[in-house]
Chains A and B, each alone.
Chain A
Amino acid sequence: LAKTTQPISMDSYEGQEVNITCSHNNIATNDYITWYQQFPSQGPRFIIQGYKTKVTNEVASLFIPADRKSSTLSLPRVSLSDTAVYYCLVGPIYNQGGKLIFGQGTELSVKP
């Protein structure tokens, strides 16, 4: 499974757009990029997944450049409730080991 590197922490203010970048230089051809969000005292929650270019849902956007060696999670107009830890994961979408390995994540702090 490809190793991922993301910032340990980030600060932002309410109403700003937040971009969290994840590096995954050893991503394999059949790997997808998935982001999870974790609030204190809760289990992680799936946010978004993509393979290439751009994916958007009601919560976030995921930008993946052509070489796929990095990806950026974009959270539009964050609020205090977006304060959480965000995990970037890389792995095959279907069973090839069938497990996800979580890194340290990025702790996002949104201030008023």
Chain B
Amino acid sequence: DAGITQSPRYKITETGRQVTLMCHQTWSHSYMFWYRQDLGHGLRLIYYSAAADITDKGEVPDGYVVSRSKTENFPLTLESATRSQTSVYFCASSESGTYGYTFGSGTRLTVV
């Protein structure tokens, strides 16, 4: 099916563990983004990518790592999870950069 898919939908992990959130889009959009959403903070940009092998930091990149070896995939890795990284994570893609983002359904991550 065409679209943008995030996995897993829900994840519970322990402090200090590494966890990877997956994002896959089927449109071959150039741009992909990771946001986190917390109560009182709205949506905050973590990292984004303008094309394969091109990534850049957003507002809150500390503690996160991204890679984009293929256009359709944009995984987000928490190298050593902390409780402050408990959040809902949204991946998005766009063909032109700032027009018409399409968001995934989100991953609810809980760090205990």
Instruction: Report A's interface with B, CB cutoff 8 A.
Output: 32, 34, 36, 41-46, 49, 87, 91-96, 98-105
What are the 5 A-B residue pairs with the smallest beta carbon separation, nearest first? A43-B103, A98-B97, A102-B43, A95-B97, A43-B90
Query: In the assembly, what is the distance between CA of A34 and CA of B102, in Å?
Result: 13
List the count of A-B residue pairs having beta carbons below 8 Å apart: 69
List the A residue with the shortest CB-CB distance to B58. Answer: A99
Is B45 a contact of A101 with CB atoms below 8 Å?
Answer: yes
B105 to chain A minimum Cβ distance, whole angstroms, is: 6
Residue with the highest number of chain A CB atoms closer than 10 Å, among B50, B100, B101, B104: B101
The interface size of chain B toward A, counting residues with CB under 8 Å, comes to 24
Query: In the assembly, what is the distance between CA of A111 and CA of B97, in Å?
Result: 36
* Cβ < 8 Å to A, chain B residues 38-82: 42-45, 48, 50, 58-59
Additional 13 contacts, C-beta under 8 A, given A34-B98, A95-B96, A99-B97: A32-B98, A43-B106, A46-B101, A92-B97, A93-B97, A94-B98, A94-B99, A98-B31, A98-B50, A99-B45, A99-B58, A100-B45, A102-B35
Hey, which chain A residues are within 8 Å of B31, CB to CB? 95, 98
B108 to chain A minimum Cβ distance, whole angstroms, is: 8
Hey, which chain A residues are within 8 Å of B102, CB to CB? 46
List the B residue with the shortest CB-CB distance to A44. Answer: B103
